[in-house]
């Protein structure tokens, strides 16, 4: 590992670094220099994400260019043709990074399809397959604070990169130096035809795909005009797409939070533009009370996550977690498909796909409908990958669905972090279609004189009371990653028998691929890909999952439990959290 001063000096001496950047580097304090250069901003399995600024540990045109050159080298080596689709969100420097990315691909003889203006991430996922491209890139830091930006890579199937391609791309990116990066000017790229601007034709095809998923047209005709919706795009990319789709579905009373309507990378009314954060709903709930809205929706800056509040019978607004909204949409879709005869003849051939850290209520729901529940590792890319696997297995089975051969029919997929996908038109979570599905469900239940909170309560009564939570523990500083690594290794070598007052029954170690029952010492192999994740199965049906973040110096805790009431389930999860947090901080 190079000393931060060596890398700093290398930037100052490099002909690849422009004079304005060098001037900014010379103005840094010693502390700032160390933070900006103590490591390279890691290109991980999801791409890049970091704080904007100068230096090797920052998001800037040089780290973005290095990533683009590495991806270009990978595509050349693999002989993959079709070009790369590029989208960007409303964050600071997003458009600049997107244009520069296009210039790098053009310089490498790879056609770049660049959206003419900012677009939601799910539109990028759709466009990769629609344009038959070899890959896609979206410039976004999702729901991170304003000082962040990021670079996410998608493969030809419209899904974020997964093994084995992620490691191959990472190897190429790591092999690139800043001096290796090729660029042409934007005008030269357009003139050569290697940079093409795209827009309305792709948008129209995407929106048509979303609208084709409607299952209750009669309920929309009956209730959409009167249902009141408050929506906030949180100064991101969702504004045009969510409003347009809702309008075309017949929703006439959609009120947008004015302070958060237009794209703004500063997110001036927000500490962080995250629909998982109740503070992000402050202005939306104020407007909802003023308009007496039935539904309150928020999308994050790249519009792949949806946050929800819904008015109950008493006029209060109830918050829905990502697990709650995911289960509610899943139940609505499965109910309607069952009523319309759209589920597979053998229901076990239909799959509800979720992740190991999402609610166990998915298992109960799948059992209720007689379908199959499948779990993936954390990250929606694994749900997207499942769709591809289903399609490949179906093709190998003569076009026939058969779950015993892996040829499932994808019915719905969701994860706890406020993301879901209602169809197979895209391969990443989509807050645009989720907003439409939830609004459609609201109309369906309104026609039955039910509110969404009442529909959720009916689900709890039918399936049981489930409660989940998540917490991140920061490991700041230059040695943060090493301390995280050491903590995971200690837990791996000496599995705890208790989390607080809750007994640990079994440990799943996804890095070694082994599940071990603590009392009997019996071991069974795990079928999911290897990943640095520990999952504790707890007495009473509870669980806890621990993994290091792939983009931030944080350890992530996920936990859940079931109870005979909502209060009991919540109490059980809090006990699990206390035990897990104490374990990590020991």
Burial letters for 259-287: b for 16+ Cβ neighbours within 10 Å, e otherwise? ebeebbbebebbebbbbbbeebbebbbeb
| pTM, 2 dp | 0.94
Mapped onto helix, strand or coil, the DSSP state of residue 563 is strand
Torsion of CA 94, 52, 266, 278, to 10 degrees: 100
pLDDT the model gives residue 1: 45
pLDDT the model gives residue 513: 96
Residue-range domains of the chain with CATH = 4-198 (3.40.120.10), 207-463 (3.40.120.10), 465-585 (3.30.310.50)
Q: Which residues of the chain have a pLDDT value below 50? A: 1
CA gap 255, 399 in Å, rounded:
45
pLDDT the model gives residue 298: 98
Q: Indicate the average pLDDT of the chain.
A: 95
At 20-51, the pLDDT tens digits run: 999 999 999 999 999 999 989 988 878 999 99
At 140-153, the pLDDT tens digits run: 999 999 999 999 99
At 474-529, the pLDDT tens digits run: 887 768 888 888 889 999 999 999 998 999 999 999 999 999 999 998 999 999 98
CA gap 473, 234 in Å, rounded:
26
pLDDT the model gives residue 2: 59
Contact 216, 448 (CB under 8 A): no
Active site residues: 142
Q: Which residue has the tokens 């948008």?
A: 203
């Amino acid at each position: 590992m190079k000393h931060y001063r060596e890398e700093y000096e290398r930037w100052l001496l490099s002909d690849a670094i422009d004079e304005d950047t060098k001037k900014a580097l010379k103005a840094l304090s010693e502390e700032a220099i160390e933070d900006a250069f103590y490591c390279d901003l890691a290109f991980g399995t999801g791409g890049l994400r970091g704080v904007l600024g100068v230096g090797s540990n920052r998001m800037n045109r040089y780290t973005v260019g290095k990533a683009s050159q590495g991806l270009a080298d990978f595509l050349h080596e693999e002989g993959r043709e079709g070009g790369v689709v590029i989208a960007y969100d409303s964050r600071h420097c997003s458009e600049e990074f997107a244009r520069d990315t296009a210039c790098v691909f053009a310089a490498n003889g790879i056609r770049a399809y660049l959206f003419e203006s900012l677009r939601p991430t799910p539109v990028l996922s759709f466009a990769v397959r629609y344009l038959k491209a070899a890959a896609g890139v979206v410039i976004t830091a999702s729901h991170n604070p304003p000082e962040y930006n990021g670079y996410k890579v998608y493969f030809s199937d419209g899904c974020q990169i997964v093994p084995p391609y992620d490691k191959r791309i990472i190897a190429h990116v790591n092999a690139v130096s800043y001096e290796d990066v090729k660029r042409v000017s934007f005008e030269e790229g357009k003139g050569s035809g290697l940079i093409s601007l795209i827009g309305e034709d792709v948008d129209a095809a995407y929106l048509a795909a979303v609208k084709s998923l409607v299952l209750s047209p009669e309920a929309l005709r009956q209730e959409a005009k009167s249902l009141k919706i408050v929506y906030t795009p949180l100064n991101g990319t969702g504004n045009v797409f969510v409003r347009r789709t809702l309008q075309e579905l017949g929703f006439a009373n959609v009120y947008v939070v004015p302070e958060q309507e237009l794209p703004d990378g500063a997110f001036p009314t927000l500490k962080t533009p995250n629909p998982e954060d109740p503070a992000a709903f402050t202005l939306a709930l104020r407007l909802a009370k003023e308009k007496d809205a039935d539904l309150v929706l928020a999308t994050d800056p790249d519009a792949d996550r949806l946050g929800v509040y819904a008015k109950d019978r008493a006029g209060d607004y109830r918050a829905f977690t990502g697990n709650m909204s995911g289960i509610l949409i899943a139940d609505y879709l499965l109910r309607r498909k069952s009523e319309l005869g759209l589920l597979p003849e053998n229901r076990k051939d239909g799959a509800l796909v979720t992740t190991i850290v999402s609610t166990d209520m998915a298992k109960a729901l799948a059992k209720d409908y007689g379908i199959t529940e499948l779990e993936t590792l954390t990250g929606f890319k694994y749900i997207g990958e499942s769709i591809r696997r289903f399609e490949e297995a179906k093709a190998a089975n003569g076009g026939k669905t058969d779950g015993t051969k892996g040829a499932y029919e994808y019915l719905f997929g969701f994860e706890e972090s406020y993301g879901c996908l209602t169809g197979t038109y895209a391969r990443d979570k989509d807050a645009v279609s989720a907003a439409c599905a939830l609004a459609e469900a609201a109309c369906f239940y309104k026609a039955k004189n039910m509110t969404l909170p009442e529909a959720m309560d009916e689900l709890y009564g039918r399936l049981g009371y489930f409660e989940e939570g998540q917490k991140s523990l920061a490991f700041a500083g230059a040695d943060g990653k090493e301390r995280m690594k050491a903590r995971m290794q200690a837990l791996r070598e000496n599995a705890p028998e208790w989390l607080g007052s809750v007994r640990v029954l079994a440990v799943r170690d996804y890095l070694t691929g082994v599940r071990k029952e603590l009392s009997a010492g019996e071991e069974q192999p795990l079928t999911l890909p290897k990943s640095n994740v520990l999952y504790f199965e707890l007495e009473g049906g509870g669980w806890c999952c621990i993994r290091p973040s792939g983009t931030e110096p944080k350890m992530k805790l996920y936990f859940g439990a079931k109870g005979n009431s909502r209060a009991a389930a919540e109490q059980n999860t809090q006990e699990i959290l206390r035990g897990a947090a104490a374990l990590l901080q020991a």
